[in-house]
Chain A
Amino acid sequence: SAVISQKPSRDICQRGTSLTIQCQVDSQVTMMFWYRQQPGQSLTLIATANQGSEATYESGFVIDKFPISRPNLTFSTLTVSNMSPEDSSIYLCSVVTNIQYFGAGTRLSVL
């Protein structure tokens, strides 16, 4: 298993600002993912965070809006840029050891 620390747990932000979410794992992992869960919806994959290279984004998500860093095998950040109320969601990081484990999530509200 893996212990994942994600922060902040929640935040309320003004439109037009940016928020950076951090994800720390207690062991080195190759694969880290970032998901979004909009209200009442299921989880949608934003991107795969690759160590030492640019993140791989899924259709509908772009680097300018969701820049991701992965400086080492235990840490990643996701920034939600130039936020609008439509970005209000739960953001989750996950890692794969034998199965995929999730962090506690960040509940973001944009006013």
Chain B
Amino acid sequence: EDKVVQSPLSLVVHEGDTVTLNCSYEVTNFRSLLWYKQEKKAPTFLFMLTSSGIEKKSGRLSSILDKKELFSILNITATQTGDSAVYLCAVERKSSGDKLTFGTGTRLAVRP
């Protein structure tokens, strides 16, 4: 059974701090790892990672995948209150018909 573990479960920081969120996984026939941001109900897509060592970057957010050690990190620099959300990691296996297995998420709170 596929397994996705995120840490920490929750995190409180102050504006301007840098945070690192972790995602480790166990999946047979790995295809991709995805990061989503969930603020209210709908998860919004952040990154999709398929290759080791290649950093994906979008503004203050960046992510990288290590397929040897089976983990990914999501970095947020210069955090803002608008970054407060649950960050979800999900993995997809080959031949899964696009099904995703999600981790439990990291709840990030950014204080002014």
Contacts and interface: CB of A to CB of B under 8 A. Distances in A.
Interface of A: 31, 33, 41-45, 48, 90, 92, 96, 99-107
Contacts of B90: 43
Contact of B98 (A100, A104, A105, A107): A100
A109 B70 CA distance: 37
Contact of B34 (A41, A92, A100, A107): A100
A42 B41 CA distance: 11
Contacts, number: 45
A42 B88 contact: yes
Contact of B41 (A44, A92, A101): A92
A43 B98 contact: no
B25 interface: no
Contacts of B43: 43, 92, 102
Contacts of A99: 34, 45, 48
A85 to B, nearest CB: 19
A90 B41 contact: yes
Contacts of A106: 41
20 contacts: A31-B97, A31-B98, A33-B98, A41-B104, A42-B102, A43-B88, A43-B100, A45-B99, A45-B100, A48-B97, A90-B41, A92-B43, A99-B34, A99-B48, A100-B34, A100-B100, A102-B42, A105-B41, A106-B41, A107-B41
